[in-house]
Structure 1
């Protein structure tokens, strides 16, 4: 299941208005601005939009995060749900074994929220994957 996607845009304010308007009929809403000064230098300022399930406690929701595009950047950033920290560790190890590059070892990332455990890899084409287990997500049926 997809947890979140980062979309790198040229003009965050303009894109923020566009995505908020375009996704509103689908039940999406603006919900959070992440100030990068709260975390490591590798995490940019982010503006979040969420579907109707996000944060409901009844189902795992999805989010889109807009970020300022860096010069030459075109890649995708995709966050994928893991059902446990052990799944995060296993996916990270499997991605490295398949030729991916480390972009952040498995660790608790409390700057994103309590119980946010994740690992990052770069795929063979420069796209970034984040395997993430959020303690606050409801458990998925087996």
Structure 2
């Protein structure tokens, strides 16, 4: 399941208005802004939109975060849901074993919240993956019996 996607745009206010208008009929809302001055170097300002379930604690939701495109920037940034820290650790280890490049070992990312545990990996083409567990989310997997 997807947790979040970063989209790099050339004009944040214009793009935020566009995505808000397009996604509103689907039940999405503007989520707010993440001010990068409170986080580590390399984390940009982010402008969020989220579906109805995001942050509800009832179901796992999805979000889109717009960021200012940097000169020469390529690639996509996708966050995948993990149901616990062990899944984050296992996915990170599998990515490194498969030839991915670490962009951040598994750890709590307190600048995003105290219950945000994630790992970051790059693939061979400059795409960025984040495996994230948010303890407030209910399990995302349906267990078959």
| Range class of TM-score, shorter chain | over 0.9
For residue 31 of structure 1, report the CA deviation from its aligned partner: 1.1
SS at match of 1:111: coil
For residue 136 of structure 1, report the CA deviation from its aligned partner: 1.0
CA distance in 2, matches of 1:112, 1:32: 13
Deviations 1:50-90 (A, max 9, x none): 00111222100000000001111121000000111111111
Q: Which residue of 1 aligns with 2:68?
A: 68
Q: Which runs of 4+ in 1 moved over 4 A?
A: none
| TM-score (normalised: structure 2) | 0.95
CA distance in 2, matches of 1:129, 1:56: 24
| Aligned-residue CA RMSD (Å) | 0.8
Q: Which residue of 1 aligns with 2:14?
A: 14
Deviations 1:119-141 (A, max 9, x none): 00000111000000001111234
Unmatched 5+ residue regions in structure 1? none
| TM-score (normalised: structure 1) | 0.97
Unmatched 5+ residue regions in structure 2? none
Number of residue pairs matched? Answer: 142
Q: Which residue of 2 aligns with 1:118?
A: 118
